[in-house]
Amino acid sequence: MSKSTFRRALLGSISACQILGLCLAPMARAEELKQWPHIQSAIPEDAAMEAKIRAMVAGMTLRQKIGQMTQAEIKAVTPDDVRKNYLGSVLNGGGSWPYMMKHATLKDWVAMSDGFYDASMRTDMKVKVPLLWGTDAVHGHGNVIGATLFPHNIGLGAAHDPELIREIGAATGRAVRATGINWVFAPTLAVVEDQRWGRTYEGFSSDPLLVRAYATTYVEGMQGHFSKAENVVGTAKHYIGDGGTLNGKDQGMNVSPEAKLMNYHAQGYYGALGAGVQTVMASYSSWTDGPSGKAYGKMHGNEYLLTEVLKGKMGFDGFVISDWNAVGQIPGCLNYHCPQAINAGVDMMMVPLEWDKFIDATVTDVESGAIPMSRIDDAVTRILRVKMRAGIFGKRPSSNPYAGKASAIQARDLARRAVAESLVLLKNNGALPLKKGAKILVVGKSADNLGNQTGGWTITWQGTDNANSDFPNADSILTGIKAEAGAANVTYSADASGVDVSKYDAVIAVIGETPYAETAGDITNLSHTARHPEDVKVLQAVSGKGKPVITVFESGRTAYANDLINLSDAFVAAWLPGSEGKGVTDVLFGAKDFKGTLSFDWPSAACPTQNSGPLFALGYGLSYAKSGEVGSLPVSNPDGCQ
């Protein structure tokens, strides 16, 4: 098929969607920056607070200061460790719960939070400093059994609704406060360029201005000015350029010129810093300025970007937190010993398991002159500033009105609305909407699999090793289909074996990716079938049998799926919708129209090149009001890309 013939056959191409008026244009371009801008924070400096902080820092011993710069994992530290070592923070990583109980209750979470807080109040410091507890609540409070799980960021980006993000930020803050925790490692502000990256779903969009708009409202909703009981400390991550690494390699190399970092990858940080975000997490990735060839190395050791740009030119006065053992990737450093990172501008070190070694090694570094005392004082000043602004002094975690409240971890109506708004209709050759009461055959491995539906960073780090029973307040898509069509009218067969398609009015196939997080999600090409051949097999079993096939595709990225689209009469990109499967069926059965549009290009090839162009461009999305058919697409599923 020639290129021109293909474009005529495919009404879903970029040119066709523009002609039909089905594309939403990317957000208007910002004026090109020639230098790093100063960002005016929504949280101004308080002179009286600054004077108090100076007095506190002057009265602290070196070990007390370095203790404040230390963050330990809850499974590797006790309250008495906090007391003896003046620890400034603890965290629970993905798949870490109080006392390592996966089904820990809200009472367990709050009790542990109180225990750590109380220990920080029993030190021999002149002024007692409460600790911060950080958690990866990246799509709701995902580590907590029973909490509402929102669509991952890639789905929220497709909704193109910054005000929705404000509400989700506030709801996430409430859920986190319900467990006694006061700091969230979110939002992720990566502007993703290569969907082979395993963290693609943590990015809102490839449109930097949409990322900026979302960063603003997310921080305003979740952190605000700490005036509401639901507010928690927010984190802009991962600074900077992690979405632009070569070949989408996690923790890899970004070779963008500085002008691109400034105008493209930094846009989300402008929004977050303007909204007053109080912490910034450094990226695992590295940066080499492409045009000059100057190698700046790992971001955790990049003094230019961390100190000169972020803290100096942009005016950030909160603190920089490292990522999990990330400083160990800097040449000459260990996971627990890296004066280079502190000198570069990292203020608090996430040294989850070897925190005690970090304290001893850093004390020695300061005493030897490897780290100037002025750098330590600056780091501690920033940490105390954030703690004071957050209002955690004198406030036991259990004193928060949301602490321990089961209702505070629930926002199901909001999440259901977010799911409905995030769905993108890529193809509809007359198969949708479905009628209530229709006899429906449901197939596919993900129809009744809440693990696949919620994705990574859910209960466990990778989102694996979870059963439907681990989601007591959730509905699978199959549950939603039964509620709409009537349970007696629905038959489910995961692999479509042994069923007579002719007995049904329609087939719904729920297929897609299985859970992953970070590096484990990196892939060599964008072909879905190359990785999940079971999905094309289940579609082949039901397609072409005289009944419409509606495919609901769950994924953490836009994927090459021409073969799957060809086998479908309707094709819906559902992303990773979270706990509320009924948000999908609200739209499939016509109670709501499709609203979502792509926040990333949909690839036309498994191994895209600069010349291949998208199959569906950023901004594309059909609806019941604006329909359009898609013709037969060429298919190629290579095992890898060069």
- Residues labelled catalytic: 323, 518
Nearest residue to 168 (alpha-carbon basis) of 580, 475, 471: 580
Nearest residue to 250 (alpha-carbon basis) of 518, 627, 564, 435: 518
Give, in order, the Cα–Cα distances in Å from 80 to each of 34, 44, 85, 108, 423: 51, 35, 8, 18, 48
The two three-digit tokens of residue 141, written as one number: 């409070």
- Contact between residue 465 and residue 407 where contact means Cβ atoms under 8 Å apart: no
Residue burial 396-410, b: 16+ Cβ < 10 Å; e: rest: bbeebebbbbeebbb
**CA quadruple 386, 337, 118, 219: dihedral positive or negative?**
positive
| Residue whose token pair is 């569906």 | 616
- Contact between residue 390 and residue 182 where contact means Cβ atoms under 8 Å apart: yes
Q: Alpha-carbon dihedral of residues 109, 111, 113, 118, nearest 10 degrees?
A: 180
First to last CA, the chain: 24
- Return the bridge partners of 280, or none: 236, 320
d(CA 454, CA 518): 15
- Give the type of residue at 293: G
d(CA 580, CA 558): 21
The two three-digit tokens of residue 316, written as one number: 């950030």
Give CA 184 to chain center in angstroms: 12
Residue 76 burial (10 A CB sphere; 0-12, 13-18, 19+): middle
- Contact between residue 598 and residue 619 where contact means Cβ atoms under 8 Å apart: yes
The two three-digit tokens of residue 466, written as one number: 């979870």
Question: What are the φ and ψ backbone dihedral angles of 168, each rounded to 5 degrees?
Answer: -70, -40
Residues contacting 288, CB < 8 A, separation 6+: 253, 254, 255, 294, 295, 296
- Give the type of residue at 109: W
- Give the type of residue at 28: A
User: How many degrees, rounded to 5, is the angle at CA 233 between CA 232 and CA 237?
Assistant: 130
Residues contacting 113, CB < 8 A, separation 6+: 133, 179, 180, 181, 397, 398, 403
| Residue whose token pair is 């013709």 | 631
Instruction: Please state, as a whole number, how many other Cβ atoms lie within 10 Å of the Cβ of residue 66.
Output: 28
d(CA 461, CA 353): 17
| Length of the chain counted residue by residue | 642
The two three-digit tokens of residue 627, written as one number: 């329909």
Q: What three-state secondary structure class fits 282?
A: strand
Residue burial 144-169, b: 16+ Cβ < 10 Å; e: rest: bbbbbbbbbbbbbbbbbbbebbbbbb
- Contact between residue 7 and residue 13 where contact means Cβ atoms under 8 Å apart: yes
d(CA 359, CA 87): 10
